[in-house]
Amino acid sequence: MRKVPFVNLGKQYEGMKDEIDQAISRVLKSGHFILGEEVLRFEEELAQSTGVKHVIGVSNGTDALVLAFKALGVGSGDEVITPAFSFFASAEAVASWGGKPVFVDIDPEDFNIKVDRIEGKITEKTKAILPVHLYGNPADMESLMNVAQKHNLKVIEDTAQALGAEVGGRKVGTIGDAGTISFFPTKNLGGFGDGGAILTNDSRIAEEVRLLRVHGAKKKYFHEKVGFNHRLDALQAAILRAKLPYLDGWNEKRREIAEKYSERLKDTVTIPSIQKGKLHIFHQYTIRTPRRNELKEFLEERGIGAIVNYPLPIHLQPAFSHLCHQEGDFPESEKASQEVLSLPIYPEMTEEEVDYVSKSVQEFFQD
């Protein structure tokens, strides 16, 4: 029986071992392990890659969201509109500083926030919209920005899963007031631990984030504000610098694998939808089937890693029970949570592995 893991980070490391080892050695020899030259160079290189004016490296993707809200003046008691179906951190970052996440259902075609439902959720307490470019597929940012501008709302793009994706020819994360990124190891651009960044074209926001990530101090031991300890490690920055030049190629390889999956599975399951004007970078290749749990077990028996992203929508999470949502409030999010299954996809997958996964899915439905 062949084994195909959900992701294979060891394979990626072996493919660029010398570059990674040199980057790590460079940091170890420097003796400078937090922020510093490596972080500064990475910020500059990522800014050039995305076409944004400012990149600020931080400790992880969740902290990036918290800092972005803080820098934008979104605070306790304010409401932030966000999709009901996503990773928990999106809404968690809102609630962590006393804000209230206000949920909107998703479009079943792309799993992103249903923009035509946003205006119905806006109140006098609404301060921002938090779209999530889920699975690497961009949200409808043109329509969303029109709503935000009409109601004078801030927009923070959760780009944790979508670095390199585009909509309307623009990189996601660079369209709203700020964009946040995660460099968790399994992301398309992943470090060897936690890491994150904030993207913005607003110099004031960038300056505020830089201040807040280091205890509110521009000068050591002199604190202008109460901030946080949300700094990016030099070691992670050096590793990410080594990987960054490969990102576009890796994303293209993911699209090629996704195309092969879709061609082979289009008559078997509901395959990912790609809308006109969007560049999907397939952080996940996520199919849908009412027989999801059975299929997952079948694949696991054949040595194939398959993951449910995500089995319970955010509005039904126990942590948000105080918001008094019930089953049926966001039916598309709830249905997706019962049907989605992410198949293995990473740039180093072989044709044989893609074929094995595809044939295994087909065999399940032939039984």
3-state secondary structure of 350: coil
Stated as kind and residue range, the H or E segment containing 175 is none
User: What tokens appear for 210 in the block?
Assistant: 């830089």
**CB-based burial, 99-127: b 16+ in 10 Å, e otherwise:** bbbbbbbbbbebbbbbbebbeeebeeebb
Does residue 88 surpass a pLDDT of 80? yes
Integer CA distances (angstroms), 127 to 78, 85, 143, in order: 6, 20, 18
**202 vs 209: CA distance, rounded Å:** 11
Write down the mean pLDDT value for the chain. 96
Stated as kind and residue range, the H or E segment containing 234 is helix 234-243
**159 vs 139: CA distance, rounded Å:** 10
pLDDT per residue over 222-259, tens digit each? 899 888 899 999 999 999 999 999 999 999 999 999 99
pLDDT of residue 82: 98
Please give the distance of CA 39 from its chain centroid, rounded to a whole number: 21
pLDDT over 70, % of the chain? 99
**246 vs 259: CA distance, rounded Å:** 20
Integer CA distances (angstroms), 170 to 56, 164, 165, 267, in order: 20, 10, 8, 32
Cβ count within 10 A of residue 312: 15
Q: Domain 9-103+111-245 has what CATH class? A: alpha beta
* More confident: 226 or 5: 5
Does residue 149 surpass a pLDDT of 70? yes
**56 vs 46: CA distance, rounded Å:** 10
pLDDT of residue 219: 87
Burial class (CB in 10 A: 0-12, 13-18, 19+), 37: middle
pLDDT of residue 164: 97
Q: Are strands 340-343 and 285-288 parallel, antiparallel or unpaired?
A: antiparallel
pLDDT of residue 1: 67
Confidence of residue 87 (pLDDT cuts 50, 70, 90): very high
For the chain, give every domain's residue range: 9-103+111-245, 246-366
pLDDT per residue over 7-66, tens digit each? 999 999 999 999 999 999 999 999 999 999 999 999 999 999 999 999 999 999 999 999
pLDDT of residue 124: 97
Beta-bridge partner residues of 278: 167
**37 vs 365: CA distance, rounded Å:** 54
pLDDT of residue 5: 96
Confidence of residue 365 (pLDDT cuts 50, 70, 90): very high
Residue with tokens 């922020």: 35
pLDDT per residue over 170-202, tens digit each? 999 999 999 999 999 999 999 999 999 999 999
Integer CA distances (angstroms), 338 to 298, 309, 331, in order: 17, 10, 11
Is 293 within 8 Å of 339 (Cβ atoms)?
Answer: no
Contacts for 236 with CB less than 8 Å, ≥ 6 apart: 183, 191, 192, 193, 194, 195
Is 156 within 8 Å of 72 (Cβ atoms)?
Answer: yes
Amino acid at 291: R
pLDDT of residue 307: 97
246-366 folds as Aspartate Aminotransferase, domain 1 (3.90.1150)
Tell me whether domains 9-103+111-245 and 246-366 share a fold. Answer: no
| pTM (global) more than 0.85 | yes
pLDDT over 90, % of the chain? 94
Cβ count within 10 A of residue 177: 20
Does residue 367 surpass a pLDDT of 80? no
Is 22 within 8 Å of 219 (Cβ atoms)?
Answer: no
Confidence of residue 127 (pLDDT cuts 50, 70, 90): very high
What mean pLDDT comes out for the span 321-346?
96
